[in-house]
């Protein structure tokens, strides 16, 4: 009868009731309620607005100016002798175009092209958006894996508490048996005291597990944005351990070179090198080439070459160039250091995954051994050599080992997922 009760318990723990929540449903709730996910989404929208500004044609940036020339005479009379209306716009980044019309007649159209014009700010905005988008995609992956890990830990701890509760009931039953045997003189008081101490240890362990569960549920509730303490979870649906392949170092390093972590540092190097190039360009005189068409029918054409030379700028830029050179070297060194650091992280995670696999092998071995011992106990129970409580205790042990094995497999699979998450 007791064995039947244990089997019924196992079936109940693995059955899926209608009010249980699976992981995908929990993740959907997180997308709707999580403050951190909403913040990531808002950051992407703000970055996209900044990027879209740079996508407009440059000629939208124009200026309109009206410059009248007022005259006064000694009699207090005043008037407009002449003046002009000018429209400036930029059809290309390096090209400035102006159309001017004088009040007393005459129109001119001029073009001025500046050599070595920097487009650094525009490139930074666009690359910032691409990096921000990559960063947010990776943060969502990290959020999902973190959510899976906490979900798995809560499922494991809740199930383990049920098994611990069964163990406590079993120890209480055994304690009554010991007490009766002590009264009958069949057991010593020492055996009874030991059994009582074991029961107290189990109750103490259960209280600690309940505290740990409360902390995990509180953490997950904060992460998701809703209270999940009263929500039942379905077990994680992950591929079998034989269905998942461990990536090699080259595959992981290739993913790393496409990651935000690598490309953000690479972008710093690119910006520093661009700044150095611009400083070199500013070190030399500015040269602009221009031409103009004017009069009513634009029949007259003129050309010009403008040379802007500032000696103080030349001397000041020399120190600035040396400073930026140091910045370039520091940015490159940071990138190399991060590559080394990431390589060390891969080594650590590979070793951790190998140890988890060894733990899984040991749990499988222990479970096989426990199942064989269960058969032996059943045989002895039929012969009347052991009490029914021995069978119950072995069944609880097997249930606990199965639960630990499932959890360690989940830990291993999530560890592999984190390897390729970057």
| pLDDT reading at 13 higher than 80 | no
Tell if the pTM clears 0.75, that is, is over it. no
The domain in which residue 9 lies consists of 2-419
CA–CA distances in Å: residue 108 to residues 61, 80, 86, 94, 99: 20, 20, 9, 20, 6
| Phi, psi (rounded to 5 degrees) for 194 | -65, -45
What average pLDDT does the segment 235-257 reach?
81
Residue 115 CA to residue 286 CA, distance in Å, equals 7
> Domain holding 129: CATH number?
1.20.1600.10
Q: Tell me which of 66-80, 175-189, 210-224 is least confident.
A: 66-80
pLDDT at residue 120, as a whole number: 52
Instruction: Give how many domains the chain has, as a whole number.
Output: 1
Model pLDDT, residue 290? 66
- Answer for the pair 401, 369: CB distance below 8 angstroms, yes or no: no
Mean pLDDT of 340-361: 91
Q: What is the pLDDT of residues 353-372, one digit of tens each?
A: 899 999 999 999 999 999 99
- Residues contacting 415, CB < 8 A, separation 6+: 349, 352, 353, 356
Q: pLDDT band at 296, cuts 50/70/90?
A: low
**Within its chain, how far is the Cα of 76 from the centroid?**
74
């Amino acid at each position: 009868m007791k064995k039947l009760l244990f089997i019924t318990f196992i079936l109940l723990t693995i059955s899926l009731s209608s009010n249980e929540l699976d992981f995908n449903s929990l993740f959907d709730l997180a997308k709707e309620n999580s403050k951190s996910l909403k913040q990531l989404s808002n950051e992407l929208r703000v970055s996209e607005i900044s990027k879209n500004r740079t996508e407009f044609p440059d000629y939208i940036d124009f200026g309109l100016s009206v410059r009248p020339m007022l005259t006064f005479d000694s009699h207090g009379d005043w008037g407009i002798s002449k003046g002009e209306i000018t429209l400036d716009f930029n059809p290309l980044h390096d090209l400035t175009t102006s159309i001017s019309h004088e009040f007393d007649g005459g129109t001119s159209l001029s073009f001025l092209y500046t050599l070595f014009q920097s487009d650094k700010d525009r490139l930074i905005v666009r690359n910032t958006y691409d990096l921000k988008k990559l960063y947010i995609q990776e943060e969502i992956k990290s959020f999902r894996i973190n959510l899976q890990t906490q979900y798995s830990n809560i499922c494991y701890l809740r199930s383990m508490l049920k098994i611990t509760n069964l163990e406590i009931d079993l120890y209480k039953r055994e304690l009554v048996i010991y007490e009766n045997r002590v009264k009958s003189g069949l057991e010593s008081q020492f055996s009874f005291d030991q059994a009582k101490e074991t029961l107290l240890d189990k109750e103490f362990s259960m209280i600690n597990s309940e505290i740990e569960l409360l902390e995990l549920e509180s953490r997950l509730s904060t992460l998701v944005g809703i209270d999940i303490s009263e929500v039942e979870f379905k077990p994680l649906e992950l591929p079998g351990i034989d269905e998942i392949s461990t990536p090699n170092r080259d595959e992981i390093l290739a993913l790393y070179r496409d990651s935000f972590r690598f490309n953000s540092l690479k972008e710093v190097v690119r910006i520093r090198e661009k700044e150095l190039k611009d400083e070199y360009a500013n070190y030399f005189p500015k040269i602009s080439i221009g031409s103009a068409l004017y009069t009513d029918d634009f029949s007259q054409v003129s050309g010009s070459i403008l040379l802007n030379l500032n000696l103080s700028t030349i001397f000041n830029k020399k120190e600035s160039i040396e400073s930026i050179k140091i910045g370039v070297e520091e940015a490159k060194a940071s990138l190399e250091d991060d590559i080394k650091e990431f390589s060390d992280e891969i080594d650590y995670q590979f070793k951790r995954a190998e140890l988890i696999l060894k733990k899984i092998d040991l749990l499988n071995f222990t479970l096989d051994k426990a199942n064989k011992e269960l058969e032996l106990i059943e045989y002895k129970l039929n012969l009347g050599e052991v009490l029914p409580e021995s069978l119950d205790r072995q069944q609880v042990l097997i249930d606990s080992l199965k639960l630990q094995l499932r959890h360690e497999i989940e830990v291993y699979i999530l560890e592999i997922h984190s390897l390729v998450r970057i």
